[in-house]
Amino acid sequence: MSTIKNENLKEESFLHVLENGLKVYFVPKKGFTKKYAVFATNYGSNDNVFVPIGEKDPITVPEGIAHFLEHKLFEEKEGNIFNRFSELGSYVNAYTNFNQTAYLFSCTDKFYENLELLVSFVQSPYFTDENVNKEKGIIAQEIKMYEDNPSWKVFFNCLRGMYQNHPVRIDIAGTVDSISHIDKETLYKCYNTFYHPSNMALFIVGDINFEKAIKIVDDTIKRDRNNDIQEIDRQYPIEPKEINDRYIEENLSVSTPLFNIGFKDYDIGYDGDKLVKKEIMTNLLLDMLFGAGTKFYEEMYESGIINNSFGAQFIASKTYSHSIIGGQSDNPKEVAKKIIENITNLKEKGLDEEDFIRIKNKMIGHHIMNFDSLEYIANSFIKYTFNNTTLLNYLNILKDIKFEDIENRFKTHFTKDNYTLSVIKPN
């Protein structure tokens, strides 16, 4: 068992690796009544082209299959997993994003029974022609619902504007047409490749006995799985530096237009602490440029061109990264124009180092406060684990960032050529 400590946070994490490669992490939270566990696979909606375990040639699977598989794992031969967790008095859920699929529960009692159920059901796929076809209708309705969701549409239209080929431009749930091509054989092929324990991680946080938890996981884990740890060959298309579309507009049922302005990142191809540093630097920079405490925000808000829905975030991954600035406005094109003007002006006169220090200290405070949230710890830990680093490195990386780092990042990330404007207007 290995241990990582962060003296600044007064937090530590423990790692135990099973023979089959499953990594089991634990962050103790003495005195907390709530317990939380996440069982996740390093597999998301982007992984549509890969070489299945035991085969030599790559296959292309239908878009949305990772999300479809997540739904299907909750179905058993004799019923529904949700009911069994409910009987144990716990909350259970799951999510699929671009890079990972996670199954989670939280409880105050019967933690070990819940843990055994979590590990057991994620390892027990039950796919039949009948239940796969039934699920297609359910997920098709979900897809149609998201097609009418303005916030969802403005976001994915922005991604499609930025990216020409990368699968991040594809809706996580796929399309009604793409999921119609999913069958049980392909589901099992995806499951056997990506749900191998060596491609997964289990994270536990709370006031529990870790040794007892490890024994339960070790006793519950399937013994008939191949223990050979193999690197999965995932394949992604070549993505040009250039954006796909400068402007995308769509009409939906909204009272005020929605907009997303996406800046495509050219600096990709790595993970680990370097990726975390880029993520922190860019989010810090976005707060310096467009945060609620800036002159830009005050002037735009007072003029009525934006409202308190205005915000910005950077998304960092090894194969893609981007900043998105969004909100509501009666004049999205004017907002985009003002954003570009603000960037141009600040590149000429320079950033304010006092702003950098203030926002950096604010981020340090927020990060420390977030360690009171078991959900934040667990889900962030999984995210950083699959990016080949640890959440406990975050604070040290943040503290080491210098003003010069931010200045250099500002010069390279925001240009006149690498942005897309996505707008949803009223019908």
Nearest-angstrom CA–CA distance, 319 and 270: 8
pLDDT tens figures, 349-368: 999 999 999 999 999 999 99
Q: Considering the domain boundaries, does residue 39 fall inside one? A: yes
> 228 and 81, same structural domain?
yes
In whole numbers, what is the pLDDT of the chain averaged over residues? 96
> 263 and 196, same structural domain?
no
> 300 and 190, same structural domain?
no
Contact by Cβ (8 Å): 95, 37:
no
> 259 and 216, same structural domain?
no
Q: Is 375 a catalytic residue?
A: no
Q: Which CATH number fits the domain that encloses residue 421?
A: 3.30.830.10
> 293 and 348, same structural domain?
yes
52: Cβ–Cβ under 8 A, 6 or more apart, which residues?
A: 59, 189, 192, 193
Q: Is residue 301 pLDDT above 90, yes or no? A: yes
Q: Which of 186, 101, 179 is nearest to 143 (CA)?
A: 179
Q: Walk across the sheet containing 233-234 and list its strands.
A: 59-60, 49-51, 233-234
> 173 and 28, same structural domain?
yes
Residue with tokens 């830990």: 381
pLDDT tens figures, 201-253: 999 999 999 999 999 999 998 765 666 677 899 999 999 999 999 999 999 99
Range of the structural domain that residue 228 is part of: 2-234
> 191 and 299, same structural domain?
no
Q: How confident is the model at residue 152 (pLDDT cuts 50, 70, 90)?
A: very high
> 355 and 387, same structural domain?
yes
Nearest-angstrom CA–CA distance, 224 and 247: 52
- Mean pLDDT for the stretch of residues 343-351: 97
Last residue of a domain, one of 234, 264, 285: 234
> 228 and 253, same structural domain?
no
> 251 and 205, same structural domain?
no
Strands (E), 108-199: none
Q: How confident is the model at residue 87 (pLDDT cuts 50, 70, 90)?
A: very high
Q: Considering the domain boundaries, does residue 239 fall inside one? A: no
Catalytic residue among 7, 11, 19, 70: 70
pTM: 0.94
> 298 and 160, same structural domain?
no
> 260 and 195, same structural domain?
no
Q: How many domains does the chain have?
A: 2
Last residue of a domain, one of 207, 234, 261: 234
